[in-house]
């Protein structure tokens, strides 16, 4: 069961400082970040609980504050393909929050998680008020687009052995 966390019971100052660690918020004064937090809501999800489902109406944008989330595609037969496993602090579901379209993936809490959520409408209002948030979102989306192009290129032009070697190299560089 999803539980809405009482925002007043949390340390808003600490949460604001954590959000300032995200590029989109790092040049916004602390008291204004607190106002941004209050524009959304903080929710708690238990392990294996679905946060939102693909192809449903836009659920808004989310920021994972604690825990872990899997972003997946689920086939008609129920097969789950995990596209990404995300850890704090990171935004997700920006695409549907920006265009108001359907959720492109299903999000499932893979650990007990605390998540900040804001509606598409309120996010758009914040972008107008704080253009830096919009610029940050553009950088994130551009980076993800470049990654998708790279994946497409690898799948289209590299043989399996070459793709495997590249993946092992990337994993070893990240695991230093």
| pLDDT in single tens digits along all 176 residues of the chain | 444 555 544 577 878 887 777 767 777 888 888 888 888 988 999 999 999 999 999 899 999 989 999 999 998 898 999 999 999 988 899 999 999 999 999 999 999 999 999 999 999 999 999 888 888 888 888 888 888 888 778 778 778 888 788 778 878 876 55
CA–CA separation, 131 and 133 (whole Å):
5
Report CA-CA distances (Å) from 121 to 1, 140, 169. 25, 20, 42
**Quick one: how far is CA 119 from the chain centroid?**
14
69 bridge partner residues: 86, 109
d(CA 166, CA 143): 19
Helix (H), strand (E) at residue 160: helix 160-174
67 phi/psi in degrees, rounded to 5: 105, -150
Whole-number Å distance between alpha carbons of 119 and 15:
19
């Amino acid at each position: 069961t999803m539980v809405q966390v009482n925002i007043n019971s949390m340390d808003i100052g600490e949460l604001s400082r954590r959000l300032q660690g995200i590029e989109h918020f790092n040049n916004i004064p602390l008291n204004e970040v607190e106002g941004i937090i209050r524009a959304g809501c903080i929710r708690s999800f238990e392990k294996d609980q679905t946060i939102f489902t693909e192809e449903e109406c836009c659920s808004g944008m989310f920021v994972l504050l604690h825990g872990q989330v899997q972003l997946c595609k689920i086939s008609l037969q129920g097969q789950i393909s995990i596209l990404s496993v995300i850890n704090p602090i990171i935004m997700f579901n920006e695409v549907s929050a920006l265009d108001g379209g359907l959720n492109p993936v299903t999000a499932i809490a893979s650990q007990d998680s605390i998540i900040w959520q804001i509606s598409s409408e309120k996010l758009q209002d914040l972008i107008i008020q704080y253009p830096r948030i919009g610029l940050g979102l553009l950088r994130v989306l551009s980076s993800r687009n470049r990654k998708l192009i790279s994946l497409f290129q690898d799948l289209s032009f590299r043989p399996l052995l070459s793709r495997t070697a590249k993946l092992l190299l990337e994993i070893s560089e990240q695991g230093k």
